Structure 1
Amino acid sequence: MISNFMKKYFITQKMMRTVIISLVHLILSSIYFFGWRSLVLLFWVTLFGVAIEWIYEKKQGKKVSEAIFVTCILYVLTLPPRTPIWIAVVGIIFGVFFGKEVFGGFGRNLFNPALVARAFVYVTFPEPLTIEWSKAAAGFPGGFATYITENIEAISQATPMLIFRETGEMVTSLKLLLGNVSGSLGETSAILIILAGIYLIYKKVAAWQTMAGVLIGFTGLSGALYLLGNPQIPNPIFGILSGGFLFGMVFMATDPISSPRTKEGKWIYGILIGVVTVIIRGYALFAGGMMFAILIGNTFAPIIDEGVNYFKKLKKEDKKEVTA
């Protein structure tokens, strides 16, 4: 019955279902670390996200794409646990409409709609998105026994990146790997995100070239600046394990629609994102940086592909001249 309903109203997309499967354990971990409110937030965001796409696609005589579920999940997992539901809903409406539908719907969007939504609420409602954080639960049953975990009052005790900016102290790698630190709903546990990345690469859904490019760009520049003694740049390992870096690298940067199509382009695109992330984290007002770095990468993705194809064409012409 559910299968017939999905086929009737949605465009079936096996790739999107694979991504959803890779996100299930992160949804569960968001409940464990921060409480059942994360599921409530996901419900309302998904409801309005699907609704806004359905309204638009119905006018075009088209079905809703299953990609909308991925967009909603990714967006929610980037939000702080205490994000007001109405703000989250406003964000997904903006992201789906202006980040996807105005470009013509699925497959035509220039920017990742989940990141468009996140950037919009971050800039428009900075206080609840940057100040209101929750402590991560530990032990059994963790957040499964509460609606939402305890509030963090001092900004110097909030997320790992904010703690580093305020005090210069770095949270231990073990805590960052396990995820029992404050942060956005699905971005705290490095191990779970890495496992998801391995699964997506195995299923050939996410481009490993993009992920490798991001790591190279980030590690190269942050490592160089760290060794030069720049106090604003933490060691690369801490930077990789915190600030939503891995989540953005695995799920956002690899979006097949808003990233380059060519293999060479994926490397260039990934390196660009990694480098820009370091610059934003170290010298801008934003503690994370990954979100804006990917959106900047999205802007250059078509140009990167054009450049790669142009040089390939020149190379072919040179070969023809040599053989002639």
Structure 2
Amino acid sequence: MNLKNFSKYFIKQKMMRTVIISLIPIIFASIYFFGWRTLILLGIVTIAGVTTEWIFEKKYNRKVSEAVFVSCILYTLTLPPTTPYWIAVTGIIFGILFAKEVFGGFGKNVFNPALVARAFVYVCFPTPLTIEWSKAALGFPGGLGTYITEGVEAVSQATPMLLFRDTGKMASLMDLVIGNVSGSMGETSAVLIVLAGIYLIYKKVASWQIMAGVLIGFTGLSSILYALGNNQIPNPIFGILAGGLLFGTVFMATDPISAPKTKEGKWIYGILIGIVTVIIRGYALFAGGMMFAILIANTFAPIIDEGVNAYKKYRKESKAKKEEVAI
């Protein structure tokens, strides 16, 4: 399909294409670490997601948004490499339908569709989403020569956050930076995620205020709890590099539709996500927490903007009254 024909069916969204470009190195890394099944899974999920949106948009004579491709990629990259195809497809259909289309389509959704899809399969299918993992490949050709890498059978080889939660042991920081650990397909390589974040900020596609807010909120609370000797809370550096926090910070929290629009609201929103992530990781049943923290913050995003705008209005009116009195 050439670009002219492509535009007949899809809304042109330059911002979304920029996000996809930033995700390409992470996609290739996921293939290297876990095998070609990651690419096949991505293809199947994308077909299911695009088809779902097309069915509902066709009813209103509207084009499919290019944002659906971003949702499909982000959702897929948050899944374990071994996720059954049918479960992955069920999740994206649910996410696109109930987090996007029921609200009226692109630009009207309250929640991030990729995260809603991930939360749905996480809750409904806990075993393949929390227990079945694959080892990260080493050397050359890595996972490029296999369909999928060897499965993990021992606790000592589970994801970094699960390993810490079950045994108190922490994976090598260097492995976390490079991505040579078990985990969700796109969340393991900190260096690639950070580079993607820098690229998105440079292109003015993602909010640096939200990213900074998440890191401030997370680092602040986790540092306090860690200093107080709370055994459930790892040191902040490990916490940032493990468990998908960076991936969620760069790609999910900064979703322009479900995040606040005001500058001050973005800071509050980011800090809220960071704080809630620490609480969920340390005291809830879930080893991660970033996914639920962002969805909780999505709920408050409109209220945060309303509060910020109301405060600005109050300050402006107060200033005007003071000037009248002075006159």
Output the TM-score relative to the length of structure 2. 0.98
Q: Contact 2:135–2:157 (CA<8 Å) still a contact in 1?
A: no
2: CA distance between counterparts of 1:311 and 1:103?
28
> How many angstroms does 1:49 deviate by?
0.2
C-alpha deviation, 1:156, in angstroms: 3.7
Partner of 1:5: 5
Q: Residue 70 of structure 2 corresponds to which residue in structure 1?
A: 70
Q: Give the Cα separation in 2 of the matches to 1:155 and 1:68.
A: 36
Given residue 55 of structure 1, which amino acid in structure 2 is its aligned partner? Answer: I
- Matched residue type, 1:315: R
Instruction: State the match for 2:131 in structure 1.
Output: 131
Q: Which residue of 2 aligns with 1:321?
A: 321
Query: How far does the alpha carbon of each residue in 1:184-238 deviate from its partner, in whole angstroms, 9 at most, with x for none?
Result: 0000000000000000000000000000000000000000000000000000000
Say yes or no: does 1:40 pair with 2:40.
yes
Mapping of residues 160-239 of structure 1, within 5 Å: 160-239=160-239
CA distance in 2, matches of 1:60, 1:154: 51
Amino acid at match of 1:142: G
Q: Amino acid of the residue matched to residue 220 of structure 1?
A: G
- 1:55 matched to 2:55? The reply is yes
C-alpha displacement of 1:293: 0.2
The CA deviation string for residues 109-163 of structure 1, in whole angstroms up to 9 with x for no partner, is 0000000000000000000000100000011110000000000012342100000
Q: Secondary structure of 1:321's partner?
A: helix
Measured against aligned partners, the alpha-carbon deviations of 1:62-84 in whole angstroms (never above 9, x if no partner) come to 00000000000000000000000
Matches within 5 A, 1:293-312: 293-312=293-312
* SS in structure 2 at match of 1:165: helix
Give the partner amino acid of 1:160: P
1:104 aligns with 2:104: yes
Cα separation, 2, equivalents of 1:155 and 1:310: 51
Residue identity opposite 1:11 in structure 2 = I
Measure the CA separation in 1 of the matches of 2:6 and 2:191.
33
Counterpart CA distance in 1 for 2:21 and 2:155 is 34
Q: Hey, what's the Cα distance between the residues in 2 that align with 1:247 and 1:118?
A: 14
Count of matched residue positions in the alignment of Structure 1 and Structure 2: 324
CA distance in 2, matches of 1:156, 1:139: 21
Cα-to-partner distance string for 1:18-53 (whole Å, 9 max, x where unaligned): 000000000000000000000010011000100000
CA shift, 1:166, in A, is 0.9
Aligned to 2:142: 142
CA contact (8 A) 1:272 1:297 kept: yes
Return 5+ residue gaps in structure 2 as ranges. Answer: none
Identity of aligned residues (%): 76
- SS of residue in 2 equivalent to 1:133: coil
SS at the partner of 1:169? coil
**Equivalent residue number for residue 30 of structure 1:** 30
Partner Cα distance (2:4, 2:85) in 1: 31
Write the distance in 2 (CA, Å) between the matches of 1:155 and 1:84: 21
- Rounded to whole Å, the distance in 1 between the matches of 2:161 and 2:31 is 22
Q: What's the CA shift string for 1:270-323, capped at 9, x where partnerless? A: 000000000000000000000000000100000000000000000010011011
1:156/1:166 contact within 8 Å kept: no
Tell me the amino acid that sits aligned with residue 266 of structure 1: K
- CA drift of 1:61 comes to 1.1
Partner of residue 256, structure 2: 256
2:281 aligned with 1:272: no
Shift of 1:9: 0.3
Secondary structure, aligned partner of 2:183 = coil
* Alpha-carbon distance between aligned partners in 2 of 1:78 and 1:94, rounded to the nearest angstrom: 16
Q: Structure 1 stretches (4+) deviating beyond 2 angstroms?
A: none
Shift of residue 4, structure 1, vs aligned partner:
1.2
> 1:134 aligns to what SS in structure 2?
coil
What letter matches 1:40 in structure 2? Answer: I
1:94 alignment partner, SS class: helix
